[in-house]
C-alpha cells in the first residue's frame, strides 16, 4: 500500500487550507444557531414548544435539493466547483443576516432553509476538490485529508455552544447573526484561489512511477511486459542495411510516442 502524505504537510498546503477554512466557516451559522435560536424564538416571537421543536425540520429538504443541484452542475461544469462553493457561502451569509428580521415561525423557516441549502452547495462542491488536490499534489491516500475536513466541522460545532452563548449574552442575537453572515460573505471571494485547481496535473506521472519503482499491480506488470516485448522485437539484426536502420529508428520513435500517450495524463 502507498504511504500517505503526513497530515501536517496537508494542513500547510494552501489549497487544502482554503477548502478547510471554507468548510469551517460555512458551518458556523448552523453550529451557532442551534444552541441559541430556541431561546430567541421564545423571547422575540413567543414561539410554542412545537414550533421550536420543528424549526429545523423544513430545512432538511433544501439541503437534499442543494446536494442534488450541485452534483448535476458539477457533472456538467466541473471547472466551476469553486464558484458553487462561493455561491453557497454568499447564500449562507445573506440568510444569516435575515434571521433576526423574522417575526414568526413561518418567516424564520425561510432563512434557515437558505442556510442549509448553502451548506449543501459548499460541502458537495468542495469535498471532492479535497480528493482531487491530494491526487495532483500529494499521494492518493485520502484518510488524512478527509480527517482535516472532519476537523473543520468539529471546530465549528465545538465553538458553537461556547462562543455563541457568550456572544448573545454580551452583544445580542442580532450581532451574532450579522457577524456570521459577514464572515461567510467575506470568505466567499477567497475561493477564487481554487479557480485553476481543475487545470493542475499530477506531479509524478504514471510513466515515471512505473519506470522508477517497478510494477506493483497487474496493470503495471502487463504494461512493463509489453514494453519489454516491444523492445526485444525492435532489436536490429547484424545484416541490417541503411534502410533497415532508418525503419528501426522510426519504430523507436513510434514506440516512444505510444508510451507517452499511454502513461502521461491528459
Joined together, the cell numbers standing for residue 35 give: 444552541
pLDDT digits over 147-201, tens only?
999 999 998 898 888 899 889 999 999 999 999 999 999 999 999 999 888 777 7
Can you give the C-alpha Rg of the chain in angstroms? 27
In angstroms, the CA 179 to CA 162 distance is 16
Q: How confident is the model at residue 222 (pLDDT cuts 50, 70, 90)?
A: low
Q: Cα–Cα distance between 4 and 88 in angstroms, integer?
A: 31
What single string gives the DSSP state of each residue in 23-88? HHHHHHHHHHHTTTHHHHHHHHH---HHHHHTSSSTTHHHHHHHHHHHHHHHHH-GGGHHHHHHHH
Give the model's confidence band at 210: pLDDT under 50 very low, under 70 low, under 90 confident, else very high.
very low
Q: What is the pLDDT of residues 76-127, one digit of tens each?
A: 998 899 999 999 999 999 999 999 999 999 999 999 999 999 999 999 999 9
Residue 173 CA neighbour count, 13 Å, CB half: 17
State pLDDT tens for residues 128-141: 999 899 888 888 88
**Structure pTM?**
0.73
CA separation for the pair 159, 143 (Å, rounded): 24
**Whether the Cβ atoms of residue 168 and residue 41 lie closer than 8 Å to each other:** no
Amino acid at each position: 500500500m502507498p504511504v500517505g502524505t503526513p497530515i501536517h504537510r496537508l494542513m500547510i498546503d494552501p489549497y487544502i487550507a482554503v477548502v478547510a477554512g471554507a468548510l469551517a466557516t460555512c458551518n458556523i451559522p448552523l453550529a451557532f444557531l442551534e444552541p441559541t435560536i430556541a431561546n430567541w424564538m421564545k423571547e422575540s416571537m413567543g414561539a410554542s414548544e412545537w414550533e421550536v421543536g420543528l424549526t429545523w425540520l423544513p430545512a432538511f429538504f433544501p439541503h437534499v435539493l442543494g446536494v442534488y443541484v450541485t452534483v448535476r452542475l458539477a457533472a456538467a461544469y466541473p471547472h466551476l466547483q469553486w464558484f458553487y462553493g462561493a455561491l453557497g457561502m454568499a447564500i449562507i451569509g445573506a440568510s444569516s443576516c435575515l434571521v433576526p428580521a423574522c417575526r414568526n415561525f413561518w418567516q424564520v423557516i425561510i432563512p434557515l432553509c437558505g442556510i442549509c441549502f448553502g451548506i449543501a452547495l459548499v460541502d458537495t462542491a468542495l469535498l471532492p476538490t479535497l480528493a482531487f488536490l491530494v491526487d495532483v499534489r500529494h499521494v492518493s491516500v485520502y484518510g488524512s485529508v478527509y480527517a482535516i475536513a472532519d476537523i473543520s466541522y468539529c471546530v465549528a460545532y465545538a465553538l458553537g455552544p461556547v462562543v455563541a452563548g457568550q456572544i448573545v449574552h454580551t452583544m445580542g442575537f442580532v450581532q451574532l447573526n450579522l457577524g456570521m453572515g459577514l464572515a461567510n460573505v467575506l470568505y466567499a471571494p477567497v475561493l477564487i484561489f481554487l479557480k485553476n485547481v481543475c487545470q493542475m496535473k499530477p506531479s509524478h506521472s504514471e510513466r515515471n512511477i512505473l519506470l522508477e519503482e517497478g510494477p506493483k499491480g497487474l496493470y503495471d506488470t502487463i504494461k512493463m511486459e509489453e514494453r519489454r516485448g516491444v523492445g526485444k522485437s525492435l532489436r536490429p539484426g547484424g545484416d541490417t542495411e541503411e534502410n533497415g536502420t532508418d525503419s528501426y529508428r522510426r519504430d523507436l520513435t513510434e514506440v516512444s510516442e505510444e508510451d507517452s500517450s499511454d502513461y502521461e495524463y491528459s
